[in-house]
Amino acid sequence: MELVYLSFILILSVFLGFELIQKVPSTLHTPLMSGANAISGITLVGALAGAGSESSILTIILGTTAVTFATINVVGGYLVTDRMLAMFKKKATEK
């Protein structure tokens, strides 16, 4: 049942993703990409368990490496997206 339940979530999220992303204007495609990239850093959540366990050294090393890479992804991704989006301005005076 676990498989069915997780697959159910997967399918619904994919459809939701399609609906949401289709509405993003092409002007914002670069920030969309870097923002999505930051979201894919969600693997961080999975990596925490490995890095924080007291099992084998290998698990801790793998987990810590994963935490590092995923954190770069999350922190870097959100910050650079914010930096870009802050530049998108509309000036009423022009045109």
Partner 1 sequence: MPTIMLINLSYIVAAVLFILGLKLLGSPATARRGNMLSALGMLLAVVVTLLDHAIIDYRWILLGMVIGSVVGALAARLVAMTAMPEMVALFNGFGGIASLLVGWVALAQPQLDNFLLLTVFLSILIGGVTFTGSLVAWGKLSELLPGRPIVFRGQRLVNVALLLANFACGAMFVLDPQQPLWLYLTIALSATMGVMTVIPIGGADMPVIISLLNSYSGLAACAAGFAINNNILIVAGSLVGASGIILTRIMCKAMNRTLGNVLFSGFGAAAAASDKIEGEGTALSAEDAYYVLEAAQSVVIIPGYGMAVAQAQHVVKELQEVLQQNGCEVVYAIHPVAGRMPGHMNVLLAEADVSYDLLLEMDDINPRMETFDVAIVIGANDVVNTAARDTISSPIFGMPIINADYARSVFVLKRSMASGFAGLDNPLFYGKNSRMIFGDAKETVNKLIREFST
Residue numbers 34-63 binding partner 1 by CB under 8 A: 34-56, 58-60, 62-63
Q: Does 1 bind partner 1 (CB under 8 A)?
A: no
In whole angstroms, how close is the CB of 38 to partner 1 at the nearest point? 7
Contact 70, 43 (CB under 8 A): yes
Name residues contacting partner 1, limited to 6-35 (CB under 8 A). 6, 9-10, 13-18, 20-35
- DSSP characters over 13-69: HHHHHHHHHHTS-GGGHHHHHHHHHHHHTTHHHHHHHHHH--S-HHHHHHHHHHHHH
DSSP 3-state of 92: coil
In whole angstroms, how close is the CB of 91 to partner 1 at the nearest point? 4
Name residues contacting partner 1, limited to 64-93 (CB under 8 A). 64-91
